[in-house]
């Protein structure tokens, strides 16, 4: 299918490019206390808000395709919405509907997984994020599958939970583990099945790496879940309690791996003829483990042994690369993205970020497509991320990214540039307050460099975010008061994304576009696509969500 954009009438595009700046995790906070965007020294962002057309956009809930408005947004669905210009039902919604309706269990993949373990009297394994944050996975999906597996006669199941602490409170693991153990006890009560937790660990320590930033994380997961190697504990609760004693102040996401054992042996290593379900629905942190199971030619670490199993993901994490080969729920099929339109119209564009968000400004922005639409017209720049904890280097690679963007603006090669600064999100997840403030101030410093560069190049900057995070760093009670840590008396850290709106600012130093914002209410970040297209000089494509501009629809 060939797509062509229609030019705006009576409009002269800017001399330079339109630059979309996504300040990841920088929202507009509801509370003063714990809002480290508000607390940060950010003269450039403050100046932009005081002197440029601006508004706020929704970046969570139904505005980005989540089931309810109580669901936070995230970088994956945020970049989907921004890049495709409209809202699709996302993984959380699609999987919840598939489990509730039973369509997941009627599918060929589920039937094959169940038939395999029944034929070989083998084990059904579930690996995934142990959370109800609804960003990568949801524990209710796991429970639904376990209940169905029992109904269908699966005798033995092993669960390998990855502890969250990012999309849920940072030390809440036992709030999920203890009730889940009770749930398993209920399934096991009649003696017909043997379902148990077999291994686990914190999501940032075990299994859930992304963009090949650190394969050592996946290797730890392989040794833990597949090989059953590691320190043995009698239960997941005992493991978490022991690891916390050994590592005072550690957050759930950073807990070391653990293996559950009995009589000196692990209770659930993955063996030949087992079935394995990776029940995360979000792709970025699921792809590498999938590759470890599926690839014959695999050189990222020594797998020691590779069991012959049936493997499936909750969804297909990369449709272009066919990863995984088998999956339980069809992902959203996203077409007519902004990048596709621009490529088909002959517009040269650049995407740039550091490793931590590189896939977001490429794969997710392009509607879950790994390959470029045009090798000739698209350039992707990945600045390699440092392999250190984010709180130890909260400036991350923002300066190097800015260097590249300024060079690109000055080159005259591009009409559209999209860039992600990951600091506000990745450092926000650490819960280390001084580092979070530095992260926000780092992004502001970069804005201070991009403003004069835009003036010199005749560019227009569109500045927004994919969701909030650094704007809501304290846990708050329903009455708005700050919840204090009983041990320290200090505010309890909130490491999850916020439900707050995000800013949308248009900086047009030469007034090339004569920007006037629409008075439409309730718009979401999906409106950024039409806005950028209008500023470049094109009409809003049919079916796109409205532009922020009063003109150019």
CATH label, 92-329, candidates 3.90.45.10, 3.40.1450.10, 3.30.70.990, 1.10.150.120: 3.40.1450.10
Which residue in the list 75, 93, 199, 527 is annotated as catalytic? 75
Question: CB of 194 within 8 A of CB of 225?
Answer: no
Q: Which residues of 408-424 are buried (b: 16+ CB within 10 A; e: fewer)?
A: bbeeeebbbbbbbbbbb
Provide the pLDDT for residue 552.
42
Question: CB of 374 within 8 A of CB of 343?
Answer: yes
pLDDT at 151 > cutoff 50: yes
Mean pLDDT, residues 444-465: 98
pLDDT tens sequence across 419-436? 999 999 999 999 999 999
What percentage of the chain carries pLDDT values higher than 70?
99
CATH architecture of 18-89+333-536: 3-Layer(aba) Sandwich (3.40)
**Nearest-angstrom CA–CA distance, 211 and 76:** 13
Residue ranges, CATH 3.40.720.10, the chain: 18-89+333-536
Provide the pLDDT for residue 88.
87
pLDDT tens sequence across 473-524? 999 998 999 999 888 899 999 988 999 999 999 999 988 778 899 999 999 9
Total residues belonging to the chain: 553
pLDDT category of residue 1 using cuts at 50, 70 and 90: low
pLDDT category of residue 380 using cuts at 50, 70 and 90: very high
CA separation, residue 446 to residues 398, 402, 441, 535 (Å) = 7, 6, 9, 22
Greatest C-alpha distance within the chain: 79
**Nearest-angstrom CA–CA distance, 249 and 247:** 6
Provide the pLDDT for residue 316.
86
Residue ranges, CATH 3.40.1450.10, the chain: 92-329
pLDDT tens sequence across 80-115? 999 999 998 878 889 999 999 999 999 999 999 999
pTM: 0.76
To the query of whether residue 75 is one of the catalytic residues in this protein, the response is yes
Coil, helix or strand for 439?
Answer: helix
pLDDT tens sequence across 168-199? 999 999 999 999 999 999 999 999 999 999 99
**Nearest-angstrom CA–CA distance, 53 and 547:** 14
Mean pLDDT, residues 72-87: 91
Element (H, E) at 418: strand 416-421
């Amino acid at each position: 299918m060939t797509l062509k954009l229609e030019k705006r009438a009576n409009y002269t595009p800017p001399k330079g490019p339109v630059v979309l700046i996504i300040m990841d995790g920088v929202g507009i906070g509801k509370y003063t206390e714990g809002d480290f965007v508000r607390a940060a020294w950010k003269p450039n962002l403050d100046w932009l808000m005081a002197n440029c057309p601006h508004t706020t956009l929704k970046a969570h809930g139904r505005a980005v395709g989540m089931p309810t408005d109580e669901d936070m947004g995230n970088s994956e669905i945020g970049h989907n919405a921004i890049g495709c210009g409209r809202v699709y039902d996302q993984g959380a919604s699609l999987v919840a509907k598939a489990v509730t309706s039973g369509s997941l269990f009627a599918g060929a993949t589920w039937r094959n997984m169940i038939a395999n373990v029944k034929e070989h009297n083998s084990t059904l394994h579930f690996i995934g994020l142990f959370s109800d944050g609804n960003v990568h996975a949801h524990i209710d999906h796991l429970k639904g599958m376990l209940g169905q597996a029992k109904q269908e006669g699966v005798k033995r199941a092993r669960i390998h939970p990855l502890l969250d602490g990012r999309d849920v409170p940072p030390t809440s693991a036992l709030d999920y583990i203890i009730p889940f153990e009770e749930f398993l006890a209920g399934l096991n009560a009649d003696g017909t099945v043997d379902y148990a937790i077999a291994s686990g660990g914190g999501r940032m320590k075990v299994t859930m790496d992304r963009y090949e930033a650190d394969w050592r994380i996946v290797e730890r997961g392989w040794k833990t879940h597949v090989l059953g190697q590691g320190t043995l504990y009698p239960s997941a609760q005992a493991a978490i309690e022991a690891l916390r004693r050994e590592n005072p102040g550690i957050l759930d996401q950073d807990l070391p791996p653990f293996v559950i054992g009995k009589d000196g042996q692990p209770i659930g290593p993955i063996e030949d003829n087992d079935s394995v379900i990776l029940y995360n629905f979000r792709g970025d942190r699921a792809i590498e483990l999938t590759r470890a199971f599926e690839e014959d030619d695999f050189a990222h670490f020594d797998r020691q042994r590779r069991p012959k199993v049936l493997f499936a993901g909750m969804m297909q994490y990369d449709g272009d690369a066919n990863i995984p080969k088998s999956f339980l729920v069809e992902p959203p099929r996203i077409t007519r993205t902004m990048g596709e339109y621009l490529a088909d119209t002959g517009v040269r564009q650049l995407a740039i970020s550091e490793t931590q968000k590189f896939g977001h400004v490429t794969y997710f922005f392009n509607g879950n497509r790994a390959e470029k639409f045009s090798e000739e017209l698209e350039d992707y720049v990945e600045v390699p991320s440092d392999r250190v904890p984010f709180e130890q280097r909260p400036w991350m690679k923002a300066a190097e990214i800015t260097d590249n963007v300024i060079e690109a603006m000055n080159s005259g090669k591009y009409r559209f540039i999209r860039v992600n600064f990951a600091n506000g999100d990745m450092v926000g997840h650490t819960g280390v307050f001084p580092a979070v403030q530095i992260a926000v101030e780092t992004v502001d410093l970069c804005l201070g460099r991009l403003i004069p560069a835009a003036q010199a190049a005749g560019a227009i900057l569109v500045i927004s975010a994919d969701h909030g995070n650094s704007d809501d760093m304290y846990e708050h009670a329903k009455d708005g008061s700050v919840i204090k840590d009983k041990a320290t008396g200090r505010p309890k850290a909130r490491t999850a994304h916020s439900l707050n709106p995000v800013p949308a600012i248009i900086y047009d130093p030469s007034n090339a576009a004569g920007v006037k914002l629409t008075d439409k209410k309730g718009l979401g970040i999906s409106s950024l696509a039409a806005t950028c297209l209008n500023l470049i000089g094109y009409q809003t494509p049919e079916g796109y969500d409205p532009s922020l501009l009063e003109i150019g629809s």
